[in-house]
Structure 1
Amino acid sequence: MRLVQVAQHADDLERAAAFYTDLLGVPPTARFDPPGLLFFDLDGVRLLLERGAPTALIYLRVDDVRVAVERVQEGARVVTAPHVIFTHEDDALGPAGHEEWQAFVEDSEGNTVGLVSFHRRE
C-alpha cells in the first residue's frame, strides 16, 4: 500500500496555485474548474487543492526549511520558525546522523503546512 493523494482546502485556486508554485518550485500538474480542483505532483503523490476539501495538516519535505520559509514569507504567516526538532541516531524515522528541521507556515488559504528538511549533524 502507498499514499496516492492528499487533499487540502482552498477557497481561491488562483491564490493557492501561486502559493504552492512558490513553495514547491513547480507549477500545478492539472486543473479542473469546474468543479474546482488543482493538482500538484509530490514525487508521485498528488496534492489536491479543492474548495470542498477539509483542512488537513500536511508535512512537506523540502531541501532546506530555512530557504523555503524565506521564499514564501511574504505570502504566508510563519506559525513556527525553522528549528531543529530531533537528531536521528538511527534510520527509524529519518536518516541517521542528521538533524530534522521543521517549520510551520499558514498557506494562502489559512491551512497550516509543516515543512521538514534533514541536515547532516555537524
Structure 2
Amino acid sequence: MRLAQIAQRADDLTRAADFYTVLLDRGPVATYDPPGLLFFDLDGVRLLLDRNAPSALIYLHVDNVHETLERLEGLAAVVTPPHVIFTHEDDGLGPAGHEEWQAFIRDSEGNTVGLIAFQRP
C-alpha cells in the first residue's frame, strides 16, 4: 500500500496554481473546472487542490528550507521560521547523521504547509 493522493482546500485555483508552481518548482498536470480541481504530481503522489476539500496540514520535503523560503518571499507568510527539530542518529525517520529542519508557511489559500529538509550539521 502507498499514498496515492492528498487533498488541500483552494478557493481560487488560479492563485493556488501560481503559488504551488513556485513552491513545487513544477506546474500542474491537470485542471478540471468545473468542478474546481487542480492536480500536481509529487513524484507519483497526486496533490489535489480542491474547492470543496477541507484544509489539511501537509509536509513537503525540500532540499533546503531557507532557500525555499527565499523563493517564496512575498508569496507566503512564514508561520514558524526554520529551526532544527532533531538530529537523526539512525535511519528510522530520516537519514542518519542529518539534522531535520522544519518551517511552516501559510499558502495562498490560507492553509498551513510544513517544509522539511535533511541537512548535515
Q: TM-score normalised to the size of structure 2?
A: 0.98
Task: Give structure 1 stretches of 5+ with no counterpart.
Answer: none
Task: Give structure 2 stretches of 5+ with no counterpart.
Answer: none
| Structure 1 runs (4+) greater than 4 angstroms displaced | none
Which structure 2 residues correspond to residues 86-105 of structure 1 after superposition, within 5 A? 86-105=86-105
Distance 2:111 2:16 in 1: 11
Q: TM-score normalised to the size of structure 1?
A: 0.97
Which structure 2 residues correspond to residues 63-102 of structure 1 after superposition, within 5 A? 63-102=63-102
* Alignment coverage as a number of residue pairs: 121
Q: Residue in 1 aligned with 2:27? A: 27
Query: Cα RMSD over matched residues?
Result: 0.6
Superposed displacement of residue 73, structure 1: 2.2
Question: What letter is aligned with 2:54?
Answer: P
Q: Deviations over 1:52-101 (max 9, x none)?
A: 00000000001111111111120111001111111000000000000000
Distance 2:73 2:107 in 1: 10
Where 1:15 maps in the other structure, the secondary structure is helix
